[in-house]
Amino acid sequence: MEFNIVVEPASAWSADAVIFFAFKDSEEYLPGFSVWMASDADWVSGSPALADFEGDLGTTTVIYGSGSSVQRVLLVGLGAEKEFGVEQFSQAVAAAFQKCRELRFRTVGVPLAAFEGIILEDRYEHFVVAAMGGLYSFDLFKSKKDDKIGLPESVRFLSAEELPEHFSEAIARAQAIGMGTAYTRDLVNLPPNVANPVYLAEEARKMAKKYGFKFKQMKRKEIIDKGMGAFASVFRGSVDEPRMIILEYCPKDREGQKPLVVVGKGVTFDTGGISLKPTGFIEDMKCDMAGAAAILGFFQAVGEIKPDLPIVGILPCADNMPDAASTRPGEVVTSFSGKTIEILNTDAEGRLLLCDALAFSAQYEPAAIIDLATLTGACVVALGWNVAAVMDNSLKMRNLVIESGMSVGERFWALPLWDMYKEELKSEVADLKNVGSREGGTIHAGIFLKEFVPESVPWAHLDIAGPAWRKKKTPAGSAGGTGFGVRTLVELTTRLDLEDL
């Protein structure tokens, strides 16, 4: 789907339909819609369909006309104005484009006037990303493919006046974010017999070649030889080869500057190992690499947007499988940091990959570290499916994550990492256990990871277990991987001052 800018008077607009928005129960329509109806589309105001429209969030009404170059108006409900925000706008836009697909509109016009009265920063970016997300589908393995015939080919931003150059740049940036998010969704939705660690490494290699990133991968022997005993304990029972994937991006004028390091959990299938997951909890565990997938999607966006800071991505990837060689509960392993870990639950494997990756990140002398992981079911119990947890050693990093997420419609809630929680991880035979009690399980995981963060480096851990995956279709998009985290990471690159943390 192409996004174009068309500069012409309203009387010359041409599209299968033009989109306008309206709030629920508002006494007046948004200014741009009212002005357009009065000046160029009096046939709209007399339509019975307009009288039937109530403006509930995500509802759509098609108004048909004649004797005009605009044959249809797609009016989209924004819900109650007092409840309106980025998430509601994104849902409304997604619904609008799903309707366009249903009615097989090939060209969709979006007057710039339609955004008058929508008080949102970066509203054009939100529009483009939501439009792309609303049309997303995954049918690679279906013998009967989803109907692509109805997909819009062109979205035209319509304006009577020339637009500044930064508008085109904003649209291009939004497309890059939308593509990165869709790529993340594809990776998460792929079956585990395809998207194994070797596959992810090859995807990273191809991306590095395309965008000029540095790429490195560590294989089984090197991971073991480097002393990453925690990481190695996870893949002992798997026939699929593990990989530690490393991507490096650095603008030419930032060489020598300390980078932002992003670490992503890449468990490409999680059975729980010897601590086997029960039926009902194991079927969707191809999504346990959503943290690593989000970082790959983020790097794809980085390749297009080219932010002005150095970034290193570290993706520890492996399967967690039961086998005669698998790690047994009660075993003690030595991590890359030298700390010993008593593994009491092999289903708490994500922190074992991440702890070695976090300790390994020290060699890059990071200015800051962010890790993303579908880490704990306890996080879903605590915060539900729509909110991720953030835990940190830096109030500034915490606020940056929360503010960045809120500005793009991804919600985070802070959980504490108080020292009193360390008591739960004390081991009688090792430096620490990999699990604490059931109560406070998400925090215990965060406390565990904190032990491996390089000293004095600002760090935030994002537990995205809830919002990274959808079991059912939602008004904003299809079931499966959501791409959660990509937009927050991109937004962070615009807000993060690596020299002031």
What are the catalytic residues?
277, 351
User: How large is the greatest C-alpha to C-alpha distance in the chain, in angstroms?
Assistant: 83
CB 405 within 8 A of CB 470: no
Of 325, 369, 329, 368, residue with least CA distance to 352:
329
CB 13 within 8 A of CB 70: yes
Residues in the chain: 501
What amino acid occupies position 139? D
Contact call for residues 409 and 90 (beta carbons, < 8 A)? yes
Q: 191 with 315: CB under 8 angstroms? A: no
CA–CA distances in Å: residue 32 to residues 29, 126, 261, 454: 8, 19, 44, 53
Tokens of 365: 């002398």
| Cα(238)–Cα(219) distance, integer angstroms | 14
The residues that bridge with 2 in the sheet, in sequence order, are: 154
Report the distance separating Cα 434 and Cα 191, nearest Å: 28
End-to-end CA distance of the chain: 40
How far is Cα 208 from Cα 214, in angstroms, rounded to an integer?
6
User: Coil, strand, or helix at residue 252?
Assistant: helix
